Structure 1
């Protein structure tokens, strides 16, 4: 990767992984000191990567309901202790009247609180939706940058980040297919193939799987690709599958897999 004259966003994943050489590291650090945009991108990327390992699921609390019931019980106990000054026996009608008034007041208070919480949550959801829309380009940049990292584990993280997207951008499709076809690391190629399985409706993805039959040498990835093409009944894969089965270097169990599955799409 080359150092951009204005920004160093593409180098940030490698900078965080500490795999840049001394000269590149010094240039990035010097640039970050004078470029608020890249500094902000660095912090957001660091937060994103930390979230992969520390993602937590928020669990709603039942405290409001529990506190409401506790207050009712407390008021009920307090009323049982009250002895009216003008009577030896407590007035049941009066006691329950006061109790119901207090209960109604508490209910109104809790209702107001819950209404306020609901309104705040609605506003928060609107703000989050706006931020998600604004952050789409940032997430794409982060994903593409991760997939270009020198670290294989970072490239796999970038590939797996595809779950954050609904529809695939053309640049992301190209990056994923490039990883599947050309990455030097077997695990990255496998992760890319598995990620692309979800998007086989795309002709670009189908063609990439067919091309992979001709260049991929790892038996595990070959079987993943074969099973995917058979599952989607891709008839353009018939000839490449036959060619793969006839090659001497193709493992026997891969040939058996092709032989058993091929009739289902012919």
Structure 2
């Protein structure tokens, strides 16, 4: 029976699937993706869809605009030109004064009003982007614990505060992955930094990487407890599913109450509830 790859395994090859489908990957990456596909039906289906889409794009003929569409566009263009030409022309002294007025004041033309509306929409979009932007956890979330090693301090500094915001998600994933090799046995403070990253990093892919890194350090007794607690606060389905798989692999029966709660959670995705039920059936 083949081992099912985790969501993090799928994430690590996701960017390569398009080139794999087009057969333009280097040999080493081709071998890596092929090995993953041999165990992952979901990614196999995605590659099949990519190849089918590529075939359809190759055989399809370019769509040309119809004469009616072109005529309609030219009519709208002429109407705009006529509207601009019909706008009253201010005297030179008024024009000089108008240059210091807000563009929405006085005798604004329809064209100017449209520009103003476009700017307003752009500002509104920027404001909404600020409103909905994922909020990073407080800096204290990744503060190294007392007695931290030099490596733990450097890791905590890189994954928190202004330093973290200056790094891309890919850079943080690389940091998390490299951290495993530098952990100096059970009890290393860097493990707590990884746990904080799992719980508080705003990017789900970084949290996936932190969970996978911690699984490699599962001999540390903090890891199992961290996975159980993290399952109660995670909202991304990929992270939830990965945590369930890791808890099952670790035979963490202490996670049973959290799995029962997640299996009955009405706003959880069906696949997450099914995974929680699977975990319960395996652990009980």
With normalisation by structure 1, the TM-score equals 0.45
With normalisation by structure 2, the TM-score equals 0.43
Which structure's CA Rg is the greater one?
1
